[in-house]
Amino acid sequence: MDWIRVEGDRLVDGTGRTVTLHGVGLGGWLNMENFITGYPGTESQQRRALYAALGAEAYRRFFDRFLTDFFAESDAGYLASLGLNSVRVPFNYRHFEDDDRPFELKEEGFRRLDRVVDLCAEAGLHAILDLHAVPGHQNQNWHSDNPTHWAHFWTHRHFQDRVVHLWEALADRYRDNPAVAGYNPVNEPADASGEVIGPFYERLERAIRAVDPRHVLFLDGNRYSTDFSMFTEPYDNTVYTAHDYALPGIAAGSEYPGTTRGEYFDRAVVERSFLRRTEFMRRTGTPIWIGEFGPVYTGEPERDAQRYQLLRDQLEIYAAHGASWALWTYKDIGLQGLVYADPDSPYLRRIAPVLAKKKRLGADSWGGVDREVRHLLDPVEALFDEEFPDFDPYPWGRKAWINLLVRNILLAEPLVRDFGRAFADVTPDEAETLAGSFAFDGCVRRSRLAETLRSHLAG
């Protein structure tokens, strides 16, 4: 495969030909997320519950099968068949290092990453390596494997040292591999002070470049990759990556074109949001890569038709501005994925009661709704409005903060026990069968989404 590098405001290959990356994020694989595979809370909480329920042997066999079947040769081939050319590969630091043995890197994590990089290369897909969860948690939410609402990564030098050390090792391993388009060192950072992230990025860039001066760096902005104020002059061979979730695609009760949460959205509004989020890239003449975007799907034909229209509008906006992109996400249990586990699969049948309870309580941040827990939230929000009217916690204000604490932590944490109980008495052979529910041949393809991507890329 050709090397990719930055030339002005473009990505180019070895001949100088412009390369626009069109891809997906491989969410839920080496970094698991609750809405993607159905557990409540965080990955680490889920893993502890499964270990307690399954025992060592069944636990090992479950995850060996899951991590093999979730992305295999048939998955890479399917993505290439749609006209895509890249995969953003998120991973959790825990595959490479244990908290009780910091700085001792585990070969197993590298081998798993090698396998997917090789599968992508064989299918003609570039891989972008994305550290999605770091020691101490770089943001306040579940997808950094954070069981709290505090991002301690920014207040402990020890955590930062470990990330630099890991990226030095990753850069050394892949420095001569052109199938890797580049490194996305920290997903959706959220430094509440705004004072640590800039110096940390400077340190990390120097450390990676000392080992590997050739690969592209893909750097997320602060506040979940929406704020680029910490950057001044762009680094060499670097792309600054915005995440561009449009509210009508993710909010309950939305309309498009139409009103969502009291604000009118149409294509012009969506484009203005894109231009605002990519202002730094356009001002500095650097390439644009939308590292995450995409609607969630409700199963309601009229609403989903509107969300496909939103997706088409976003794709056309990106094409008009020469932007690369990675759609979130490739595979899940039915909310957003390009393919998803069959609702009648052994795994989904087993966890069905937990999914129903999780939905009722609105325990997931992504895709969850608060309709049936408003009787809890309304008085708390009213109390804060009265007693703390100026309280505006980082990053999204007090209503989001209350929802995080009540729904996504207070209610989700005991639900983890329910999830674990669903696997009581599962044998090692049965555990493997359950994990195999995510194999491509047994999954459902979201055909309308696939055709939307294929048509856009063919045009």
- Residues with catalytic annotation? 188, 292
| b/e 319-339 (16+ beta carbons within 10 angstroms → b) | eebebbbbbbbbbbbbbbbbb
Please return the burial class of 301, using the count of CB atoms within 10 Å of its CB with bins 0-12, 13-18 and 19+: exposed
Token pair for residue 71?
């992305």
Residue position matching structure tokens 């999204």: 396
Contact 336, 294 (CB under 8 A): yes
Handedness of CA 309, 315, 316, 317 (dihedral sign): positive
Residue 187 CA to residue 328 CA, distance in Å, equals: 13
Residues 6+ apart with CB under 8 A from 102: 135, 158, 162
Handedness of CA 117, 119, 121, 127 (dihedral sign): negative
Token pair for residue 317?
């906006």
Contact 326, 23 (CB under 8 A): yes
Alpha carbon separation from 39 to 214, 333, 357, 397 (Å, rounded): 39, 11, 11, 26
| DSSP-derived 3-state class of residue 381 | helix
Residue 204 CA to residue 166 CA, distance in Å, equals: 10
